[in-house]
Structure 1
Amino acid sequence: MSPRRTLLVANPTARTGKAARAIDRAMEALANVGLEPEFFATQPEGRTVAALADRIEREDCGRVVYLGGDGTFAESAKGIILARERSGIDIPLGMLPMGTANDQGRSFGISAGPKALEQNIRTIAEGCEQWLDVGRIEAFDEDGESLTSDLWFDNCGFGLSARILAQRNRDRERVARVPLVKQLYRDKLVYAGAAFSEIFKSMVGGPLGGQFSCEANVDGEVVEWVGLTDLVINGTILYGGEWIFVEDCRPDDGEFEIIPFRSHADWVSAAIKAHKRNPVTEDDREVVGMRAREFRRGQRFEVRLFHPQFGREIPAQIDGEEFPSAHHYVVENLFHHLRIVVPEDPHWI
C-alpha cells in the first residue's frame, strides 16, 4: 500500500490572491476523499525543484499534485524526477491545472480552472496512471561546448512564437510597475499586444523579419528547411490548448514530432486546418489541394539554426517559457520518464 499523504504544490501569491482560495478548496477536497493533503508552497529563484525532491525523499508521500499553470507543472515534475534519480523513490503527479493553454491536462481529458477542481480531485483519488515521455534539451555554443540543459513536458520551439513570449515577458514586467494599468492590462491582453507587435515586425521582411533556416538531424536523417518563421518540437497531442498538428502523435510512444512553419500564411493555414474542432478530414484536404502538414518524427533531434547576416537572434522557448538562445541544440525523448494521474478513459478535450 502506498502512503496516502498528498503533497499539494502551488504558489499562494499567484493570480493576485485567487490562488490562495483555490488552494484552500483543494486542501479541503483532497481531505474529503482521504488523500491526506500537505501544502507545499513553491519557492523563488528556482529553489522549488530541489526542495520538493528533499521532501519526497522522506518516503511518506504517495503522490504530488500541482495546482497552477505550466510553470508549476514543470517544477513539480522536475522535483519528482530529481528524487527518483537521487534515491530511487518514484511517485506520480496529479493535475489541478489553472492555466489557459493546459496542453498536458487537456491532452488527457483534464479541464482547467476552479470549476473543474472537484472532478479533477476525483480523478486523482481513482489513481489511474499513464506514462508521459519527457523532453530533454541542451544548447551548445559555436565550439560545441554545452551552455545549458533542461527538461520540458509539452513542447519546445524556436522563432516567432518564442519571440512573442519573450516580448510578452518584457511587457508584463513594464505593466506590473504601473498600478492602474496592471489592473486593466491583464496577461491575455499583454500576450495579444506582444503577438501583434512581433507579427507586424516579421511581416516587414528582410533581416528584421526574423526568418531563418534549419538543418535538423532526426534519428540520423538530415533534413533542411529554409525561410522558416517557426520550428516546433511537440510532445503532447495539443499545442497551445487548441491545435493538433499531428493527429496520430502519442505522449508515451518514445517519439516527438518536429514541425516547420515557413510563413504567416503557413501559420494561418495551420490555425484553420489543425484546430482540434476542425471537421475537415485529411481526405477533404487532399480533394481541395491542401498540403498535409510537413513534419518528421523521431527520438533524437540535432537542430542547427541559421539566420541571415545582420538578422535577428533566433529565440527559444520550452513549455511557454524563455530558454537561452543558441544556434545548436540537441533534443531527446526520455521514454516513459514521468508517471501522471489521468482519467480512466484518457482523451483530449
Structure 2
Amino acid sequence: MLLVNPAARGGRTLRLLEPVARRLRAGGAELSVIVGDDPADALERACTAVSERPDALVAFGGDGLVHLAVQAVAGTDVPLGIIPAGTGNDIAGALGVPCKDPLAAARTVLRMRSRAVDAARIRAGSADEVFAGVMCCGFDSRVNERANRRTWPPGMARYLVATLEELRSFRPIPFRITLDDAEVVEREAMLVAVANTSSYGAGMRVSPDARPDDGLLDVVMLDALSKAEFLRVFPSVYRGRHVGHRAVTVRRVRSVRLEALPQDAVAYADGERVGPAPVHCEVMPGALRVIV
C-alpha cells in the first residue's frame, strides 16, 4: 500500500510518483496507491489498508506523511516503508533510508528488510497521537505556528521569516518538567524537545545521540538565554554541538510531562501540530517495524 501526499514539495513530488510506482511494480510488488482528500481522510484510508494486513504501508512524502502513517501502523505487525519526498526527511535519514534518490528508497522497500524501532505516545490538549521522531515545545514550535499562518514566501524561506518574527517578541517560557514521574524540574527555558531520533526541521540535530531503538526518549532542555546568545548558539544545532553549551541539559527517560501556560507552549511532533501544554510523552519500545 503506497500512501501519497500530493502536496509534498508544493505538488512537485507527484512527478516522481509514476517512476516510483513503476519501479515497485517491476520489482514484483502488487501496488495500491492511497491518496486522501485531506489528512483525516488519508489517515482513515491508511488505517483501513493496515486492517487488511498488507505486506507494508509505504509513506511517499516527508516527515508529516510518515507521522500520519505511524498512526496507522504503530503497535501492529505491518512494516512501515518510507520513500522520502518531502522538504524535510529527518525520520527517514535517522533510520537509514536513502533520502536523495526516491528510486533507491523504492529498492530498499522491495528488499523488505525491517527492524524494530521505538515510537512515543504524546498527549496534548485533547490529542492522543504517536510520533516517531522529535516533539518540540517552545521557541521552535512557536516558529511553526507563525510559519503555518503564512502563505508567503514558499518552502523553507517561510520558516526563516517566521524565526525572525518570533525572535522580536519571544520570552523564555516557565516550564515544570516531570521526568519518569519522579524528578521535577522547574525552569525558564527557550525550548524543550523530546527526541526519539536525532534531528528535526530539515537537519537540525537537536539530540545527536538519540537512538530510536534504546527504549528511551532524550529530553533536551535549553535554558533561558539572551537573544544575542541564542543567535550565537542556534547555528551549532545543525552539527549537534549545542549540547556542550552550559544552558543545554539532556536527560534520558521513559516518560516526561511538560507543564506551561497553554498560550505560551504548543507541541509539534514530527513537524505536525498536536496541541497546547500540558504535554505528556511516553516511549513505546519496539512499537514500529520499519523497512531500512
Same fold (TM over 0.5): yes
Please state if 1:258 is matched with 2:219: yes
Q: 2: distance between equivalents of 1:13 and 1:246?
A: 29
Q: What do residues 118-151 of structure 1 show as CA deviations (whole Å, max 9, x unaligned)?
A: 21112112222112211111135xxxxxx33211
Is the contact between residue 63 and residue 93 of structure 1 (CA under 8 Å) also seen in structure 2?
yes
Q: 2: distance between equivalents of 1:14 and 1:99?
A: 5
Q: Corresponding residue for 1:334?
A: 284
Q: 1:103 to 1:304 in 2, by over 3 A?
A: same
Q: 1: distance between equivalents of 2:290 and 2:9?
A: 25
Unaligned runs of 5+ in 2: none
Q: CA deviation at 1:19?
A: 2.4
Q: What do residues 49-81 of structure 1 show as CA deviations (whole Å, max 9, x unaligned)?
A: 22222223234x211111111121112221223
Q: Corresponding residue for 2:62?
A: 69
1:207-222 equivalent positions in 2, closer than 5 A: 209=171, 211-222=172-183
Q: 1:11 to 1:302 in 2, by over 3 A?
A: closer
Q: CA deviation at 1:247?
A: 4.1
Q: CA deviation at 1:230?
A: 0.8
Q: How many residues align?
A: 289
Q: 2: distance between equivalents of 1:249 and 1:13?
A: 30
Q: 1: distance between equivalents of 2:128 and 2:273?
A: 13
Is the contact between residue 48 and residue 79 of structure 1 (CA under 8 Å) also seen in structure 2?
no
Q: 1:332 to 1:126 in 2, by over 3 A?
A: same
Q: 1:321 to 1:130 in 2, by over 3 A?
A: same
Between 294-303 and 214-223, the greater mean CA deviation after superposition: 214-223
Q: CA deviation at 1:196?
A: 0.9
1:1-349 equivalent positions in 2, closer than 5 A: 7-59=1-53, 61-81=54-74, 84=76, 90-113=77-100, 116-139=101-124, 147-172=126-151, 175=152, 185-202=153-170, 209=171, 211-262=172-223, 263=225, 264=227, 265-266=229-230, 268-269=232-233, 271-272=235-236, 274-276=237-239, 291=246, 293-306=248-261, 313-326=264-277, 328-342=278-292
SS in structure 2 of the partner of residue 23 of structure 1: helix
TM-score normalized by the length of structure 1: 0.75
Q: 2: distance between equivalents of 1:160 and 1:65?
A: 32
Q: Corresponding residue for 1:180?
A: none
Q: 1:47 to 1:188 in 2, by over 3 A?
A: same
Q: CA deviation at 1:294?
A: 1.2
Q: 1: distance between equivalents of 2:275 and 2:66?
A: 20
Q: 1:200 to 1:291 in 2, by over 3 A?
A: same
Q: What do residues 221-266 of structure 1 show as CA deviations (whole Å, max 9, x unaligned)?
A: 3242422111111110223343434443210111101111122425
Q: 1:247 to 1:106 in 2, by over 3 A?
A: same
Amino acid at match of 1:65: V
Is the contact between residue 59 and residue 80 of structure 2 (CA under 8 Å) also seen in structure 1?
yes
Q: 2: distance between equivalents of 1:105 and 1:323?
A: 21
Amino acid at match of 1:275: Y
Q: 1: distance between equivalents of 2:203 and 2:145?
A: 21
Q: 1: distance between equivalents of 2:9 and 2:235?
A: 29
Q: What do residues 258-293 of structure 1 show as CA deviations (whole Å, max 9, x unaligned)?
A: 111122425642532x43387x9x9xx6xxxx5484
Is the contact between residue 177 and residue 258 of structure 2 (CA under 8 Å) also seen in structure 1?
yes
Amino acid at match of 1:295: V
Give the greater-gyration-radius structure (CA).
1
Q: 1:109 to 1:71 in 2, by over 3 A?
A: same
SS in structure 2 of the partner of residue 187 of structure 1: coil
Is the contact between residue 152 and residue 319 of structure 1 (CA under 8 Å) also seen in structure 2?
yes
Q: CA deviation at 1:99?
A: 1.9
Q: What do residues 148-201 of structure 1 show as CA deviations (whole Å, max 9, x unaligned)?
A: 3211111112111111101001112xx4xxxxxxxxx31222111111101122
Q: 1: distance between equivalents of 2:50 and 2:260?
A: 39
Q: 1:253 to 1:52 in 2, by over 3 A?
A: same
Q: 2: distance between equivalents of 1:228 and 1:73?
A: 29
Amino acid at match of 1:189: A
Between 155-164 and 297-306, the greater mean CA deviation after superposition: 297-306
Q: CA deviation at 1:335?
A: 0.9
Between 314-323 and 248-257, the greater mean CA deviation after superposition: 314-323
